[in-house]
Amino acid sequence: MADVSRWDRAWPALPYLFIALPALFSLMSRWRPEVAALAAFAAAWHWLMVASRFSRISRAPALIVHLAVLLAVVWLLIRIDGAFTVTGVGTFIQVFALVPGWWAYAGVAATVGVMLTARSGGRGLGELAFSFCVGVLIASTVGLLIRTVSRQNDQRKAMIAELEESGAKLAALAEENAGLQAQLLVQAREAGVLAERQRLAREIHDTIAQGLTAILTQLEAADPAAVPAAVRARLDIARSMAKESLTEARRSVQALRPAPLHEAQLPAALREVAAAWSRSTGVPVAVSVTGESRPLHAEVEITLLRVAQEAMANAGKHAGAARVGLTLSYMEDVVALDVRDDGRGFDPANPGHTDGGFGLVAMRQRVTRLAGDFAVETAPGQGTGISATVPAIPAIPGTPTGSAS
């Protein structure tokens, strides 16, 4: 792994090297079974107490026992052969690695004392005291360096982990931003298309249709008896052409709004759509309206109508529902549409539909584009409930039925 340093790879082998190397030289110069047995015991003891998965040094009493046994073995080995002084030096490293805080220096002092008593050799008390102080000073300096290296190594690993986490967050944010940008582009395109359709509908209604209506009114007001026969025939032709043109203009306006909303408000349009869907699928649909219904802005009515159509389509294609209920609720500031079925339901985190859940995404986008709230309540085997709540924006005053305001 990239965050494993040389120190991390070398550290587990160091205690065994400090035991194996002096044992090898000692046994090569003279075979002594006690040396082989003590060296093997020291290695096995370190493995059992520190290196294996059965490590027990996390508890203070076990750590004290481990160091006491290790120091006893080191004392015996140094008494047999001075080459094992190297093992004592390795014990310094273990003490600083295992013992927390200032207690490590007490462990260093104990190790230096063990090494000196094992090789006292008749030296005087003053010489032993001097050697003890020098040994503690040197071992503490080395230990301080080891701790500094270890601390820097931990800081480096923490910094690498933090950088990796930051990189992952940045990648996730970039991906999320790309998704949001794509969604905004789709919504902007849909909003532009809808706005243009509404603008065209208003222009056709307010100019061409109104002008044709005025022309037709003037033609019909003309007295047939007051004009010659030849002119009367041309007036009839003009009247017929004006009616046809007015019909085409109205048809163009109507094509820019959903057909059920041509001649009806939203509650009636919902009932019409629900009845048509029920006839085609054989699934009964109950439509209820609460509150005082009133004309709403065309985009609000279109959004709720499309949500109802998509929700019923999902109930027919995916849910296997036996009943569907639509509830339209007019409130003071908002209007809410609830569509519930008794179908098989699904896991919201994984819709599993053949359309990849796009129908839900499209409904949510339509609703959120109007600053509304969209929610789905479902679970496998428990049916599905879809709720869309949007601001109750009133219809533009003076907009006639059938136009896209």
Condensed to tens digits (0 to 9), the pLDDT of residues 106-158 reads: 777 777 767 777 676 555 555 556 555 655 666 666 666 766 776 777 788 78
For residue 401, name the pLDDT band (cuts at 50, 70, 90). very low
pLDDT value of residue 290: 92
Condensed to tens digits (0 to 9), the pLDDT of residues 273-283 reads: 889 888 888 88
Condensed to tens digits (0 to 9), the pLDDT of residues 42-97 reads: 888 777 777 776 666 767 777 778 778 887 888 888 778 877 777 777 776 677 67
- Domains in the chain: boundaries: 6-164, 194-255, 260-391
Q: Supply φ then ψ for residue 285, to 5 degrees.
A: -125, 125
Provide the Cα torsion 72, 73, 76, 77; round to 10°.
-150
pLDDT value of residue 405: 36
pLDDT value of residue 245: 76
Cα–Cα distance, 242 to 238 (Å, whole number): 6
pLDDT value of residue 152: 78
Q: Are strands 324-330 and 285-290 parallel, antiparallel or unpaired?
A: parallel
Residue 313 has pLDDT above 90, yes or no: no
Instruction: State which amino acid sits at residue 358.
Output: F
Condensed to tens digits (0 to 9), the pLDDT of residues 236-251 reads: 777 777 777 777 776 6
pLDDT value of residue 375: 92
- The CATH code of the domain at 260-391 is 3.30.565.10
For residue 331, name the pLDDT band (cuts at 50, 70, 90). very high
Q: Write out the two tokens for 220.
A: 């019909």
